[in-house]
């Protein structure tokens, strides 16, 4: 399997809104009039409730748990002995607790616990010894007597209050469903600034103009300049569009509201439009503010596309967004900053001047920008002196900022696994292999036949990548299973923005190398070339249909991408070309593939000895670099020259 470079994207045209009216910011700074600014009474702490409940419990049940008896504790037998001796002066018997307390003749107090009722003999003994005794029944606590009456009532009242509170909460959530879910940020949160965004100086300059206008509007008003109402950040995923928005929030010094496109969508029609109105109302209260809408394509898609009647909720939300940005009521002092990686699906009314006046392309970073991004993500890491970030930046073409951040993190993880305290160059190499080619499949073991077939397959790719004149430089080739592949040939594409027909022909020829090598060596084919054929066919199809690289078709192009919305192609006139043209297109695609397959067969036959040496090296070392492959091919060529120039010997 060989890694093929991604086909170059078609040139995108950015509409320029020169000469279109922009909104002038004349609103003064206003203070927000939200209810949260009013001084409310502080809520009662929760501990107060528990303290009051504890006091009630003590008052209600404390008399039952705290005994009123004092003095020396004696047994009932000892009490009778004291009475019989005449040492007891006076006793008091509690009818509720059966506690007998009294005083001896010497003034000592005592207490004991008797039976529920005194026996006749014990009572006669008290009378005979002249002991002054009486029976007391303590009065019940009034609070205790009320609890059995009011407790069920309080329980029922509590249930009704809980049900009412839940009902009010549900009603409140229903009433607030149309409120905006935007998150406001202060000037110091988030702390990201333009200094934290590496590279992209042109993007920074265009966005910084809007920030400067909001912070210093008088400077622009002196010469009549007006800031765009809307700025659309367009670029592939992971290029830092949201990071730019966070930097604007940290640099602006004005109100900043962040929201995603999905926050407007609900199952109820009209909720999204209500949230849009509430969002712009919040922004107007701030005087000058920036609204950031991430993934705006979720609500800004073309209206009326697809089968049926469309998505009413999304279209109503989009209509309200259009009206708020440049409708009958102007939104002065409010700038909308949006991000998307699908500008082709946005409604034309959203992109016209007066709404999103400026589109800023955030492309994949170049080599210098990748180096700056790697430095940003490595500044809080412990780096070794041999970790060459400049070489790693050149070896990672096509990676976005998010990919580079993941690369640095993977390198740190590999360093930890090795037991190292610093991130070294080998960690970056392993991390790049992990990110680009996938993880090693240690559990997959190839038998001898499959391993030999894989070695010649990848050797065919490697030889063609080395000898073809327009191919990308070969980086390394391996027969170790990674990801879904049994082996990988990895080339490093050079920094380029346009591609020639010769380049694509070499790419297709290299993709055919694995299949052709197996056919030359083993005389049969297997299923290992499925991915190679898929990529080669895709490139050949685009050469014929989109890039005009076929002499038979000529300078004509048909969009090879599928329609964005299901059913949109049914609303148009159908296929753009006739059946004869379709047959000619198929013939041209087949011709290109067969020609490059034949070319690969001729080149590999010429370098058969080099192919054998590369395959043997792969079987022995499992992974070799591009320099080793070039050396082996040159060695085979030198041996062939020596064998040709050697004088023939006779058999006399």
Q: Which residues are catalytic?
A: 458
* Secondary structure class of 334 (helix, strand, coil): strand
List % helix, strand, coil for the chain (3-state, nearest 5): 50, 10, 40
Contact at 8 Å (CB) between 20 and 354? yes
C-alpha 480 chain-centroid distance:
31
CA 502 vs. chain centroid, Å, equals: 40
Preceding peptide of 327 cis, ω within 30°: no
Taken in order 213, 214, 215, 218, the sign of the CA dihedral is positive
Q: What is the dihedral of CA 613, 469, 9, 437, to 10 degrees?
A: 10
* DSSP per position, 243-260: HHHHHHHHHH-SEEEEEE
- Alpha carbon distance 451, 460 (integer Å): 14
CB distance 600 to 509 below 8 Å: yes
Phi, psi of 207 (to 5 degrees): -75, -35
Largest Cα–Cα distance in the chain? 159
Cα separation, 615 vs 300, in Å, equals: 54
| Both structure tokens of 5 | 């470079």
Report whether 23 contacts 330 (CB < 8 A). yes
E strand segments, 305-411: 334-340, 358-361
| Closest C-alpha among 76, 69, 72 to residue 92 | 69
How many CA atoms does the CB half-sphere of 588 hold within 13 Å? 22
Residues facing 185 on adjacent strands: 256
Using CA atoms, how far apart are residues 91 and 104, in angstroms rounded to an integer?
9
Q: Tokens for 567?
A: 């059913």
Q: How far is CA 233 from CA 227, 257, 323, 357, 368, in A?
A: 16, 16, 21, 11, 21
3-state SS class at 208: helix
Q: How many helices (H) and strands (E) does the chain have?
A: 21, 14
Residue 487 CB partners (closer than 8 Å, separation 6+): 1, 454, 455, 457, 458, 477, 478, 479, 480, 481
Contacts with 462 (C-beta within 8 Å, 6 or more apart), sequence order = 474, 477, 489, 513, 614, 626, 629
CB under 8 Å to 310, separation ≥6 — which residues? 303, 304
Distance (Å, whole) CA 430 – CA 440: 10
**Distance (Å, whole) CA 608 – CA 601:** 10
C-alpha to C-alpha distance for 294 and 280, rounded to whole angstroms: 16
């Amino acid at each position: 399997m060989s890694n093929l470079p991604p086909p170059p994207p078609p040139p995108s045209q950015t509409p320029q809104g020169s000469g279109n009216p922009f909104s002038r910011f004349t609103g003064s700074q206003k203070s927000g009039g939200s209810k949260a600014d009013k001084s409310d009474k502080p809520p009662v702490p929760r501990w107060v409730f528990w303290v009051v409940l504890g006091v009630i419990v003590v008052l209600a049940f404390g008399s039952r748990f705290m005994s009123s008896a004092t003095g020396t504790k004696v047994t009932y037998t000892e009490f009778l002995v004291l009475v019989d001796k005449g040492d007891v002066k006076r006793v008091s018997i509690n009818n509720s607790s059966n506690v007998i307390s009294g005083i001896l003749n010497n003034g000592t107090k005592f207490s004991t616990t008797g039976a529920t009722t005194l026996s006749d003999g014990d009572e006669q003994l008290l009378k005979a010894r002249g002991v002054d005794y009486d029976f007391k029944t303590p009065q019940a606590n009034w609070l205790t007597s009320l609890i059995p009456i009011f407790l069920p009532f309080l329980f029922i009242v509590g249930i009704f209050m809980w049900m009412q509170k839940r009902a009010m909460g549900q009603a409140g959530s229903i009433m607030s469903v149309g409120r905006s879910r935007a998150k406001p940020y202060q000037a110091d949160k988030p702390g990201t600034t333009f200094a934290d965004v590496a590279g992209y100086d042109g993007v920074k300059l265009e966005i910084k103009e809007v920030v400067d206008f909001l912070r210093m509007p008088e400077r622009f008003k002196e010469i009549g300049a007006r800031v765009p109402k809307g700025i659309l950040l367009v670029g592939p995923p992971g290029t830092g569009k949201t990071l730019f928005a966070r930097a604007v929030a940290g640099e602006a010094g004005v109100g900043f509201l962040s929201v995603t496109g999905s926050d407007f969508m609900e199952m109820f029609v009209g909720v999204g439009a209500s949230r849009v109105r509430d969002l712009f109302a919040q922004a107007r209260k701030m005087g000058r503010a920036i609204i950031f809408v991430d993934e705006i394509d979720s609500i800004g898609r073309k209206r009326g596309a697809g089968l049926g009647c469309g998505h009413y909720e999304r279209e109503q939300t989009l209509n309200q967004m259009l009206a708020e940005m440049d409708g009958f009521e102007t939104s002065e002092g409010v700038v909308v900053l949006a991000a998307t990686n699908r500008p082709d699906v946005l409604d034309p009314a959203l992109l016209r001047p007066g709404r999103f006046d400026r589109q800023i392309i955030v492309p994949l970073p170049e080599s210098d920008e990748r180096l700056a991004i790697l430095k940003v993500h490595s500044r809080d890491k412990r780096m070794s002196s041999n970790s060459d970030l400049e070489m790693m930046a050149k070896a990672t073409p096509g990676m976005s900022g998010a990919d580079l951040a993941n690369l640095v993190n993977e390198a740190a993880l590999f360093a930890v696994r090795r037991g190292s305290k610093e991130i070294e160059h080998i960690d970056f190499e392993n991390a790049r292999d992990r990110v680009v080619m996938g993880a090693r499949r240690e559990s997959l073991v190839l038998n001898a036949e499959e391993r030999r077939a894989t070695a010649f397959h990848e050797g065919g790719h490697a030889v063609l990548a080395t000898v073809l004149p327009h191919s990308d430089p070969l980086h390394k080739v391996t027969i170790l299973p990674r990801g879904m592949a049994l082996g990988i040939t990895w080339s490093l594409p050079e920094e380029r923005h346009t591609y020639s027909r010769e380049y694509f022909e070499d790419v297709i020829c290299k993709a055919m190398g694995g299949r052709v090598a197996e056919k030359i060596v083993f005389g049969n084919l297997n299923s290992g070339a499925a991915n190679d054929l898929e990529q080669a066919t895709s490139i050949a199809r685009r050469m014929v249909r989109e890039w005009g690289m076929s002499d038979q078709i000529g300078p004509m192009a048909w969009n090879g991408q599928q329609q964005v919305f299901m059913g949109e192609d049914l609303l148009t006139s159908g296929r753009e070309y006739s059946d004869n043209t379709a047959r000619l297109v198929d013939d041209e695609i087949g011709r290109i593939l067969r020609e490059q397959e034949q070319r690969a067969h001729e080149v590999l036959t010429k370098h058969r000895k080099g192919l054998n040496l590369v395959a043997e090296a792969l079987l022995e070392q499992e992974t070799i670099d591009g320099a080793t492959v070039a050396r082996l091919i040159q060695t085979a060529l030198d041996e062939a020259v020596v064998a040709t120039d050697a004088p023939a010997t006779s058999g006399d």
